[in-house]
Amino acid sequence: MSTTPPEGTTPLRLVFDEPRGRAKPPRHLADLTAAERADLAKERGLPAFRAKQLATHYFTRLVDDPEAMTDLPAESRAELVETFLPDLMTPLRTLEADKGTTRKTLWRLFDGALVESVLMRYPDRVTMCVSSQAGCGMACPFCATGQGGLQRNMSTAEIVEQVVAGARSLARGEVPGGPGRVSNVVFMGMGEPLANYRAVIGAVRRLTEPGPDGLGMSARGITVSTVGLVPRIRQLTQEGIPVTLALSLHAPDDDLRNELVPINTKFSVAETVEAAWDYARTTKRRVSIEYAMMRGINDQAWRADLLADVLHEYGDWGWVHVNLIPLNPTPGSKWTASDPADEREFVRRLEAKGIPTTVRDTRGSDIDGACGQLAATE
Ligand code: SAH
């Protein structure tokens, strides 16, 4: 099959792909399935069970100090750790808010690329917000990450490691509230997860595989947030992993959405919402519509009515709910958060039309919690 697009069409690859010819992140056991790990061990002349021992340290015991891996023979421990658990990222800065229960970490990857992750502890759950790309190619003008363009896709292990790092600090009691576990993961850090599809699906598999092959999380606790890459939403629908899909809609009409979420010029509001609806219908998972409230831009009462109508076109059996996000203004941008009265009216109109609506809490906004703002200041 030829990969050359027909003449006159713009190949989507141009939008999705990262620059070529770069060094790859170190291979790590979290990049591999259990069978691939065993093969790698054999390739290196090591017994296959060593791979399982290392996976147990990594995913189950959450150990990262080779000295603590006392079930490995002292003479080959260094080689084993180098083969299966190479260093992937270094924390550069950690910022805390909400009395230490919100912790944002800026990481440097092996090639100097910067990404962020955020841990948020609530009374009943712990959510890790992770990055899937260094930078982002989607160019949404209100988003800090969107301004810098795409540097590169992250590997599966680089994505997983953000969650494991959070799990380690919780297990060690470093987060106020006592030892705990990560219950939720949201792909709402830097990057467009569906533009790095393979690595993201690999990460979801590692997060959900039972120990010692993975972290043993529930797929229902994982949210993949997307600008709406329609072919990839359709692919995810067929994947058979019941993650929660969040669609960053931000406008119910193509005129405005073309500006706020430029990929809309390729996939219209109608096509995108239909793909999300298909996802809900097939997976029986309620889709979350993300809508960042921007003063005077997308927060008019008539747009709330239009949003409800657009969502209602696909049945009113509760396939969807709207999550309003107070805009976290990026430095120097013309966009600011909505007036609280306009926000209340927006909620009222959606609810009056039967659309379940929540307003996201603004945890971490004082530590540049939104999308890429910390990396942008480095
Ligand atoms: N690329 C994916 C995931 C990353 S961003 C996506 O677009 O869905 C996660 C959410 O934060 C998206 O809904 C995004 O539009 C929103 N967001 C980005 N910048 C923001 C800002 N400054 N204030 C509020 N929300 C923002």
C-beta 226 within 6 A of ligand 1: yes
- In this predicted model, what pLDDT tens digit does every residue of 16-66 receive, in sequence order? 455 556 789 999 999 999 999 999 999 999 999 999 999 999 999 999 999
- In this predicted model, what pLDDT tens digit does every residue of 365-375 receive, in sequence order? 666 555 455 55
265 with 149, same domain: the answer is yes
**Structural domain total, the chain:** 2
> What local confidence, expressed as pLDDT, does residue 366 receive?
62
* Ligand 1 center–CA 99 separation, angstroms: 25
> What local confidence, expressed as pLDDT, does residue 11 receive?
38
> What local confidence, expressed as pLDDT, does residue 374 receive?
52
Identify whether the C-beta of residue 95 lies closer than 8 Å to the C-beta of residue 104. Answer: yes
Rg from Cα positions in the chain: 21
Q: Which residues, in sequence order, are CB contacts of 335 under 8 Å at separation 6+?
A: 141, 142, 294, 295, 297, 327, 329
* Ligand 1 center–CA 71 separation, angstroms: 44
Mutation test of ligand 1: which of 225, 260, 288 has the most ligand atoms closer than 8 Å to its C-beta?
A: 225
- Considering the entire predicted model, what is its pTM? 0.93
> What local confidence, expressed as pLDDT, does residue 23 receive?
86
182 with 285, same domain: the answer is yes
> What local confidence, expressed as pLDDT, does residue 316 receive?
66
Q: Measured between alpha carbons, how far is 22 from 77 in angstroms, rounded to an integer?
A: 30
Q: Measured between alpha carbons, how far is 235 from 201 in angstroms, rounded to an integer?
A: 11
Domain-embedded: residue 373: no
C-beta 330 within 6 A of ligand 1: yes
Ligand 1 atom with the smallest distance to the CA of 248 is 13
Domain-embedded: residue 185: yes
pLDDT lower than 70: segments of the chain: 1-21, 316, 364-378
Mutation test of ligand 1: which of 15, 133, 143 has the most ligand atoms closer than 8 Å to its C-beta?
A: 143
C-beta 371 within 6 A of ligand 1: yes
Domain-embedded: residue 160: yes
279 with 154, same domain: the answer is yes
Q: Which domain holds residue 258?
A: 118-361
User: Which sequence positions are flagged as catalytic?
Assistant: 116, 371
* Ligand 1 center–CA 234 separation, angstroms: 21
